[in-house]
Amino acid sequence: MNAGTTPTAAEAFAACFAQPPRVVASAPGRVNLLGEHTDYNGGLVLPMALRDLCVNVAIGAGDTPGVIDVYSDIFRDTARRAITEAPSSHWSDYVLGAVKAAATEQVSREGIRIALTANVPLGAGLSSSAALEVATLRALATFYGVEADPVDVALRARSVENDFVGMPCGIMDQFASSVGQPGAALMLDTRTLDHTPAPTLTGHRFVILHSGVSHKLTEDGYATRVAECRAACTALGVEMLSDLGPADLGRIAEIASPLDRRARHIVTENRRVEAGFRALTEGDSATFGRLMVESHASQRDDYEITVPETDLLVETALTEGALGARQTGGGFGGALVVLLATERVEDWSDKMTRAFPATHVVAVT
């Protein structure tokens, strides 16, 4: 929880509802260092919860049984949703879904008021939606006096995204936000939920650079990749693509295009996560940077989720001295994560934002 930002949520609640909230909670966004689109394939990921970039949620008692009154400082908008409502492709669906998952009975009796603020940029691939779900579930647990196990919160948050909002994502974003420690990477097996903290690279920083191209993952591209992976599983006779390894690349090459490329990305990306965790453990920044570059190439050529703007930014980032760079998040725009020696960060950031005025540095961690 980020105490430095919680007063903002409290103030937003008080300004909207003319009374102070009873509970304020927050949850961080995340950047994924390696392991893209592997989570819904039962694979390995290496995310990092972000310092100082979070969603904050304030909660107080409502005045109408069965009704959620919610204000978003992000959208400067209010919504009144009934606990019985279906999703409506509105920003408040994430809040409504979290309330349904955790407090349907209580809100049906009493109603509830919620205000939210955030400094996680939308459309950057940094999991603002997962942070909103986790923060809302944390706040509800405190409000109703229920113990909130971090893994259970992550699973509930993913259910909100999958079953209510309609986004067929894996568990990585919610797990990183709920279980991860801000500023520390986490090696996660998304099938077993086994997870291990990863050390930082001494003398190096990860810079998150927004490309200036926003994305919306509920559009067709993401769901199409999920469907393609399921079709590849059928063609290869496996439950999940992460059941496959390097020894299977030959038979993967024999299935129809583009399913062969989608499966190849998952297999090789899982291996990159394993190698990346070893590199972090050994303090090997050069190897980790190389793996980031390979990951971006696989996203571009095999998974086809990059855009020309992020491809050019990665190329330029490396030319300007980065050890590694890749598009991070669900794809089709968003942010880059870039590995730099600490002493290069300021000069590199200045050169990149001058050369590409639509970009900006979101965070350095």
The predicted pLDDT at position 125 comes to 82
The predicted pLDDT at position 216 comes to 53
Task: Classify residue 21: in a domain, yes or no.
Answer: yes
List, for residues 35-78, the tens digit of each pLDDT value: 999 999 999 999 999 998 999 999 999 999 999 999 999 899 99
Res. 5: pLDDT tops 70: no
Res. 7: pLDDT tops 70: no
Res. 1: pLDDT tops 70: no
Print the domain residue range for 108: 6-32+50-189
Q: What CA–CA distance (Å, rounded) separates 81 from 71?
A: 11
Task: Classify residue 225: in a domain, yes or no.
Answer: no
Task: Classify residue 286: in a domain, yes or no.
Answer: no
With both helix axes pointing from N to C terminus, report the angle between 345-355 and 308-319 in degrees, rounded to the nearest 10. Answer: 140
Task: Classify residue 320: in a domain, yes or no.
Answer: no
The predicted pLDDT at position 340 comes to 98
Residues with catalytic function? 173
List, for residues 146-168, the tens digit of each pLDDT value: 999 999 999 999 999 999 999 99
- Residue 96: which CATH number? 3.30.230.10
Task: Classify residue 55: in a domain, yes or no.
Answer: yes
Task: Classify residue 226: in a domain, yes or no.
Answer: no
197 contacts 203 by C-beta, under 8 angstroms: no
pTM score, two decimals? Answer: 0.93
List, for residues 65-124, the tens digit of each pLDDT value: 999 999 999 899 999 999 999 999 999 999 999 999 999 999 999 999 999 999 998 878
Number of domains in the chain: 1
Task: Classify residue 233: in a domain, yes or no.
Answer: no
Task: Classify residue 177: in a domain, yes or no.
Answer: yes
